[in-house]
Amino acid sequence: MSPLNSSNPCLPKTHFLKVPTFDPFFKFKSFSFNTHIPPNRAHALSFSINSKLKSSQDIQNNKGKKGVSQKIVLSEVTPPPLTENNDDINGGSGNGNENVPAKSRNKRGVSGLAKMLSKRTLQILSNLPLAIGEMFTIAALMALGTFIDQGEPPEHYFQQYPEDHPVLGFFTWRWVLALGFDHMYSSPVFLGMLVLLGASLMACTYTTQIPLVKVSRRWSFLHSAETIRKQEFSESLPRASIEDVGTILMGSGYEVFLKGPCLYAFKGLAGRLAPIGVHIALLLIMAGGTLSALGSFKGSVTVPQGLNFVAGDVLGPTGFLSSPNEDFNTEIHVNRFFMDYYDSGEVSQFHSDLSLFNMDGKEVMRKTISVNDPLRYGGITIYQTDWSISALQILKNNEGPYNLAMAPLQINGDKKLYGTFMPIGDVNSSDVKGISMLARDLQSIVLYDADGKFAGIRRPNSKLPININGTEIVILDAIGSSGLDLKTDPGVPIVYAGFGALMLTTCISYLSHSQVWALQDGTSVVIGGKSNRAKMEFPEEMNRLLDKVPEIVQSSLSEQAGGIRG
């Protein structure tokens, strides 16, 4: 800066700080003061100096140009580097954005708005009351799914929830069908709640759990004895060495870091990682459940003994993620169907002997299944769920055998009744009469004559004839039908993995994360620490460990002091 002409009457007597006025290669140096300013009252002092030095020659040479404006900041921190003002460089009078392309300003505005919206969305989704409300809503929908019969035809809901007698005064079949409650676990309402809960879990993990883990992994030293004494646990050991404290902590499973007179130690970091694992496990369970609802195949079939069917002809998709595979071409043959009975004669268990054949006709698997003992092959699971009687095989007057189809007459839970009719005489007559045969199971057949009177009971395979209205009948066999449910569920392994991870991470989350700080203060050691869970056990553990720290005798202290002075 050139010296000022004091003879100029236009200039007052003013003292200016000698600073670079407009050189981008220079930067301000920080100012240091000896005066102590409390942290809560520290502030920056700033003022502006606007220098406009004009002469007649300057006015002619610099006509239309503005003066140089500088701002000097006095602070305890290093000020930012001096930069040119866009107004001064460009001679403009705006806010410095006049020469910035409008497209760039729009991009910055859009990106800033997007960041603000994403941050606000994360704050809303990571709200704990919202997540709890989502979980309760999902639980309520699941309970409602157990109350409402699933997968039934619309006529069933017309009868169960009629409009003239609504449940709770408003709930009718219209609600069931409109909201998809007849297939609750694949309904848009249920899947939408799962997606919302998954988003809340991911937002909480991103905004809360991951930052906590990052902070927990950082090891930092405390250089003030007063700060250490403010921890949840604190103790002072006279005539002790910080190296001995570190050795004792290492022996107790702590990770120990030592730097000069300062020590930091921690253990149980897995307890900090466990909540993230819990969230991941819950996400796996929900993802597996969603895949099961939208990517599975299901089907039911009743097959008489001795017949077969193709798996793909029975299985139907449950959602847009369902994708068949080559195992759908497997042919399933029912070799035999039979039942077990209680002493009272009631059915106790029923079995199906199944054979599976590939496209080349080669048997690839054979197994006898029963209730709670399914067959699994190539992702297809076959369950034994039901039974019926398809036909009676008889001899009529030593002719045959003939197969008489059995029809269900009454089905009420386990109370089943099947019947058939064998005409006698002229079958073309308008008044056809015949012999009626009824069966509750495969054990015995009850026969009635043409007048409807009881004629007798015969067991299949007994080979005992019975004469009814001049016709001799022998019951050879009662042919049963196997009721099978087929299903493919690609989400099951994911759900099982999620539940396994949930149990493991839940147990790990109970591990406490403990931190210890220590400082060598002359001949004594100041120790402090805290724990996130074991609030009562942590002080007891620390006292037990500190009791093991050896005390340094006076001679050793003198030698150490002499070594330091030397």
| Residues 400 and 525 reside in one and the same domain | no
- What's the total number of domains in the chain? 3
Which pLDDT score, from 0 to 100, does residue 465 have? 93
- Other residues' Cβ atoms within 10 Å of the Cβ of residue 347: 16
| Residues 414 and 550 reside in one and the same domain | no
Token pair for 519: 């400082």
Last residue of a domain, one of 488, 522, 554: 488
The CA distance from 190 to 142, in Å, is: 8
Give a yes or no: residue 502 inside a domain: no
Give a yes or no: residue 548 inside a domain: yes
The CA distance from 562 to 566, in Å, is: 6
For residue 11, give the DSSP letter: S
Give a yes or no: residue 274 inside a domain: no
The CA distance from 529 to 518, in Å, is: 9
| Residues 449 and 322 reside in one and the same domain | yes
| Residues 256 and 305 reside in one and the same domain | no
| Residues 140 and 241 reside in one and the same domain | no
Token pair for 330: 């497997």
Evaluate if residue 344 carries a pLDDT over 90: no
SS (H, E, C) 436-452: EEEECCCCCEEEECCCC
Domain span including residue 333: 297-488
The CA distance from 249 to 267, in Å, is: 10
- Model confidence pLDDT, tens digit, residues 361-390: 999 999 999 999 999 998 999 999 999 999
| Residues 433 and 391 reside in one and the same domain | yes
- Model confidence pLDDT, tens digit, residues 394-417: 999 989 899 999 999 876 656 789
Written as one string, the DSSP assignment of 532-547 is SS-TTHHHHHHHHHHT
Closest by CA to 238, choosing from 518, 525, 517, 520, is 525
| Residues 427 and 479 reside in one and the same domain | yes
Q: What is the rounded average pLDDT for all residues in the chain?
A: 81
Interval 229-248 mean pLDDT? 94
Give a yes or no: residue 277 inside a domain: no
Interval 79-107 mean pLDDT? 47
| Residues 396 and 482 reside in one and the same domain | yes
Report the Cα 368 to chain-centroid distance in Å.
37
Question: Among 95-99, 327-331, 357-361, 412-416, whose mean pLDDT is lowest?
Answer: 95-99
Evaluate if residue 418 carries a pLDDT over 90: yes
For the stretch 138-172, what's the b/e string if a residue is b when 16 or more beta carbons lie within 10 angstroms of its beta carbon?
A: beebeeebeebeeeeeeeebeeebeeeeeeeeeeb
Per-residue pLDDT band for 48 (boundaries 50, 70, 90) equals very low
| Residues 322 and 390 reside in one and the same domain | yes
| Residues 123 and 161 reside in one and the same domain | yes
Last residue of a domain, one of 488, 522, 555: 488
Q: Is 519 exposed, middle or buried (0-12, 13-18, 19+ CB in 10 A)?
A: buried
Interval 472-484 mean pLDDT? 94
Evaluate if residue 144 carries a pLDDT over 60: yes
pTM over the 0.75 mark: no
Give a yes or no: residue 89 inside a domain: no
Last residue of a domain, one of 488, 523, 538: 488
- Model confidence pLDDT, tens digit, residues 287-296: 999 999 899 9
The CA distance from 461 to 444, in Å, is: 10
| Residues 377 and 240 reside in one and the same domain | no
Interval 20-27 mean pLDDT? 38
For residue 98, give the DSSP letter: T
| Residues 70 and 103 reside in one and the same domain | no
For residue 463, give the DSSP letter: -
Which pLDDT score, from 0 to 100, does residue 118 have? 87
The CA distance from 482 to 68, in Å, is: 97
